[in-house]
Amino acid sequence: MATDQPPKKPDEPGGTSKTNGNGFPLPKFVGILHSEVKREYFPTETQYLTEKDATHEAEVIATYLVKMGIKTKLYAGRPETLSSILRDKPDMIFNLVGSISGQEYLSATIPGILEAMDIPYTGAGMLGEALAYNKYLVKELLVSHGIPVPRTQLLTSATTPLNPELRFPLITKLNEIHGAVEVTQDAISPDEKHLRDRIKFLIKTYQQPIIAEEFIAGREYTAIVLEGGNTKVYLAEKVFPDATDPMQFVTFDAQWVEGGETYTYKKISDPTLNELVRRAFDILKMGGYGKFDIRVDQSGRYYFIDSNSNPAFGPKELDVALANILSLYEIDFPEILKRLMVNTMRDWFKTQEERSASGS
């Protein structure tokens, strides 16, 4: 923990005393690092809505840790805050930072700094987080490893020539912003004129390239990956109000607007898809937990349409996919916390032992 002394194992005096019943430690003191959110950081109210409750969500998570007998402290996810973490020396950090000053890609710096400080943390490392904020690169990596994705093109302007192999309807997405920002019914373009107008608006508003990909008519699944003793995949199908409409998809309103469009989750089993998800998790350098969205066409073919290295995290009362889906498998939030903490501490102790053995 950022000291001159080697780490203490669970059975050493002053070491971490709680265990998960398998010899791996639970921390005594946990920090929760969350986004610092101000309206002026974000170009639109839409993007602001995806993060405005970051502090409240961290506070809710903290109540669960406190009930587990673990000291907890919240930290705003800004570089200057990290000096407080270095001073306080928490045993580990829950890294929930989704943006810094409203810039999502900057959150990839957080795991790098924590590693330099030698503090264990949940979620993906610096490389995994950096990849997550270039959706086009993610799709290229997946398809190069045999993971199916829709045909996709990255467009840097409204006049970029369109790949003639793309087939309408196309759906447009921001390349560097998550949270379904601007994923509305108007994101579906039936023709090139609509597409050009859409791209012009998105680039002008968000100042970043736009992804246009073939919309896959069919069903939509979500996969949650959770590491523990081993990596496990939990699958659920999104059930929309009209189950017969293959054009339905999850919009921004469905995720963020109270009283907006609705959908529920249904537990499913698919060993083939499980294996694809595990491979994607490794390819994209995720860690601890992750989330994938997959469309399944009317012939039963899979298409990975989105991935999140550090997806929205919290218990069911925060209405996040991770907790909602794992509850279908009778895994409650304290169990999720326990698995992540054990996995994080175990991996950190293993790394420290390897460094010690190598003399580094």
Q: How far is 89 from 71, CA to CA, in rounded Å?
A: 12
Q: Where are the domains of the chain?
A: 18-122, 151-214
Q: How far is 247 from 243, CA to CA, in rounded Å?
A: 10
What mean pLDDT is predicted for residues 122-127? 96
pTM: 0.91
Q: How far is 106 from 108, CA to CA, in rounded Å?
A: 5
Q: What is the pLDDT of residues 290-333, one digit of tens each?
A: 999 999 999 999 999 999 999 999 999 999 999 999 999 999 99
Q: State what percent of residues in the chain have pLDDT above 70.
A: 92
Residue 11 confidence class, pLDDT cut points 50, 70, 90: very low
Residue 276 confidence class, pLDDT cut points 50, 70, 90: very high
Q: State what percent of residues in the chain have pLDDT above 90.
A: 82
- Per-residue model confidence (pLDDT) at position 360: 56
Query: How many CB atoms are located within 10 Å of the residue 129 CB?
Result: 26
> Are both 18-122 and 151-214 of the same fold?
no
- Per-residue model confidence (pLDDT) at position 12: 41
Q: How far is 124 from 95, CA to CA, in rounded Å?
A: 9
Pick from 19-23, 94-98, 168-172, 346-350: least confident: 19-23
Q: What is the pLDDT of residues 192-247, one digit of tens each?
A: 999 999 999 999 999 999 999 999 999 999 999 999 778 899 999 999 988 889 99
- Per-residue model confidence (pLDDT) at position 4: 36
| pLDDT greater than 70 at residue 20 | no
- Per-residue model confidence (pLDDT) at position 24: 66
- Per-residue model confidence (pLDDT) at position 206: 96
- Per-residue model confidence (pLDDT) at position 25: 72
What mean pLDDT is predicted for residues 105-125? 94
CB-facing half-sphere around the CA of 227: CA atoms within 13 A: 22
Pairing of strands 210-214, 218-227: unpaired
CATH 3.40.50.20, domain 18-122, yes or no:
yes
| pLDDT greater than 80 at residue 15 | no
Q: What is the pLDDT of residues 80-104, one digit of tens each?
A: 888 899 999 999 999 999 999 999 9
CATH 3.30.1490, domain 151-214, yes or no:
yes
- Per-residue model confidence (pLDDT) at position 347: 87
Query: How many CB atoms are located within 10 Å of the residue 344 CB?
Result: 26
